[in-house]
């Protein structure tokens, strides 16, 4: 657990974002330059200018030495810089951070490298007064390349941590992350399969690669060629991908595609031994299978969550467009002028559209065959309006309205009310016929209301009448104290006639 104050922790995170990746790159470049100078038995004159030029070259800025422009920079250091910026930016961005903090993180990721770029340009301009071969690069181009590299890295880092908030606040479609994953899967598949083909081609042209390594006899020179070839491997992968989708690659006057090969001079870099040599064999036409396989990868990613065909088509189209943009950006970063050889790179007019067409066509078939389409939900049928209900109930219904809280104890039959028969006959309790005195006239019961009030669940038992009967009754033996005729037995115990109440009364 980090117990440092919030301000101190955020300051250190911002410094790490601003100068972390650039500082590491400067340290590696300084080590390489010093090793080169020591091996060449040279002094440190112009060492800082060489470091500054190499740092700008890592960001794709062309370097001019002795009037020869080196514009084709290796993609491996550039991709490593993007990855480092994305990682440090993501580490400094908390999922619940406010947009104010996020803006500061992005500003640090861009401000630090721009400051180092300005210092590098000043150092190169100062070193060019001593080393006449070294020329100062264009400031606008240098700032633009550095800003583009670190902006892409910062966008990747922040987007990976705030994906849900970005979709909600920007009102973007929910399937946009799925389209982005499909685009990344297609690009990785295309580059990976193209790299395998390039490695197989280098194995086939092993003799040519051996001759390119033989241009130097020193071990250090061959080691330098090996490192340089490793740094240019991503450039070769992008060129192989362009050939696979049907576009073409230019190396000066030489042109390479799946349908034709025009020979020409090739730079003496061992990794370029992978380029095909004329005449073109039918095996290079099989590169088109790579484009189809990569499009299948895009379609499978887009079909992971089935959707109606308009959404599925939009998802596939966006994924194909993003993949085409990524490949075009890589091709632009890996292209440029190489001294007397001329322009090296990919034909931009056909590369992007070819990637898009392959991915959207074969990817669409994959989505349809992989079950990525669902039927659109049917519209509900219109419901007829309900008939109007009279507010006043009818007379017969009004008579039957009873409060739900009170039980119904009678039924109404016409105009005569019939009282419901109660199962418990309590006529032998108080108020029943047994308690009426002889000769007393029974009064007619009063008419009960239309709705009889609810009777208690168990009526209270009246207290027994303990009044002794007259002596004449006992002597005659004709009645007891409750009116029942029994035979009088003088030998019977009188206590047997006592009544004990169950309730203890």
pLDDT digits (tens, 9 = 90+) for 186-236: 999 999 999 998 898 888 888 888 888 878 777 888 888 888 889 999 999
Which residues have C-beta within 8 Å of that of residue 382, sequence separation ≥ 6?
A: none
> From CA 481, how far away is CA 498, in angstroms rounded?
11
pLDDT for the residue numbered 367: 92
pLDDT for the residue numbered 362: 94
Retrieve residue 319's tokens.
Answer: 């994924």
pLDDT digits (tens, 9 = 90+) for 158-173: 988 888 888 887 788 8
**Residue 158: exposure state from Cβ atoms within 10 A (0-12, 13-18, ≥19):** buried
pLDDT for the residue numbered 466: 54
417 strand-pairing partners: 412
Retrieve residue 214's tokens.
Answer: 């033989």
Which residue, 408, 239, 393, is CA-closest to 327?
239
- Domain ranges in the chain? 1-172, 173-375
Helix (H, G, I), strand (E, B) or coil at 62: coil
Retrieve residue 264's tokens.
Answer: 């020409």
pLDDT for the residue numbered 268: 81
pLDDT for the residue numbered 297: 94
Residues in the chain predicted with pLDDT less than 50, given as ranges, are 1, 393-444, 472-488, 503-505
> From CA 280, how far away is CA 101, in angstroms rounded?
57
pLDDT for the residue numbered 33: 87
pLDDT for the residue numbered 127: 85
């Amino acid at each position: 657990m980090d117990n440092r104050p919030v301000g101190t922790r955020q300051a250190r995170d911002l410094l790490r974002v601003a100068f972390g990746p650039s500082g590491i790159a400067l340290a590696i470049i300084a080590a390489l330059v010093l090793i080169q100078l020591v091996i060449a038995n040279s002094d440190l004159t112009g060492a800082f200018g060489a470091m500054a030029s190499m740092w700008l070259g890592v960001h794709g800025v062309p370097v001019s030495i002795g009037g020869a422009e080196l514009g084709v920079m290796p993609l491996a250091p550039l991709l490593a810089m993007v990855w480092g910026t994305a990682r440090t930016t993501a580490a400094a961005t908390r999922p619940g951070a406010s947009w104010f903090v996020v803006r500061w993180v992005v500003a640090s990721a861009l401000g630090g490298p721009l400051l180092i770029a300005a210092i590098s340009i000043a150092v190169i301009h100062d070193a060019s007064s001593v080393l006449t071969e070294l020329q100062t690069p264009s400031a606008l181009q240098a700032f633009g390349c550095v800003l583009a590299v670190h902006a892409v890295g910062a966008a990747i880092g922040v987007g990976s941590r705030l994906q849900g908030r970005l979709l909600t606040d920007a009102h973007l479609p929910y399937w946009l992350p799925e389209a982005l994953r499909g685009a990344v899967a297609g690009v990785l598949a295309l580059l990976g399969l193209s790299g395998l083909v390039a490695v197989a081609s280098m194995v086939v042209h092993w003799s040519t690669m051996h001759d390119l390594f033989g241009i130097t006899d020193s071990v250090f020179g061959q080691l330098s060629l090996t490192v340089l070839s490793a740094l240019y491997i991503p450039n070769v992968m992008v060129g192989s991908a362009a050939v696979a989708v049907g576009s073409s690659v230019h190396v000066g006057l030489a042109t390479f595609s799946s349908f034709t090969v025009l020979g020409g001079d090739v730079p003496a870099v061992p990794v370029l031994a992978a380029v095909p040599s004329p005449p073109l064999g039918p095996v290079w036409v099989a590169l088109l299978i790579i484009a189809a396989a990569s499009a299948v990868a895009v379609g499978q990613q887009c079909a992971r969550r089935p959707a109606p065909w308009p959404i599925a088509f939009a998802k596939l189209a966006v994924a194909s467009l993003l993949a085409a943009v990524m490949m075009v950006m890589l091709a632009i970063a890996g292209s440029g002028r190489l001294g007397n050889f001329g322009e090296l790179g990919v034909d931009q007019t056909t590369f992007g559209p070819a990637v898009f067409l392959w991915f959207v066509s074969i990817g669409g078939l994959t989505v349809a065959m992989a079950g990525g389409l669902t039927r659109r939900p049917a519209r509900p049928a219109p419901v007829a309006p309900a008939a109007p209900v009279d507010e006043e109930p009818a007379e017969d219904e009004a008579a039957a309205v009873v409060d739900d809280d009170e039980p119904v104890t009678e039924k109404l039959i016409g105009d005569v009310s019939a009282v419901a028969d109660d199962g418990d006959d309590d006529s032998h309790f108080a108020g029943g016929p047994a308690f009426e005195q002889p000769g007393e006239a029974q009064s007619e019961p009063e008419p009960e209301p239309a709705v009889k009030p609810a009777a208690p669940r168990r009526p209270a038992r009246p207290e027994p009448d303990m009044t002794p009967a007259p002596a004449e009754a006992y002597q005659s033996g004709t009645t007891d104290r409750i009116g029942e005729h029994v035979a009088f037995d003088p030998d019977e115990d009188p206590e047997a006639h006592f009544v004990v109440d169950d309730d203890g009364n």
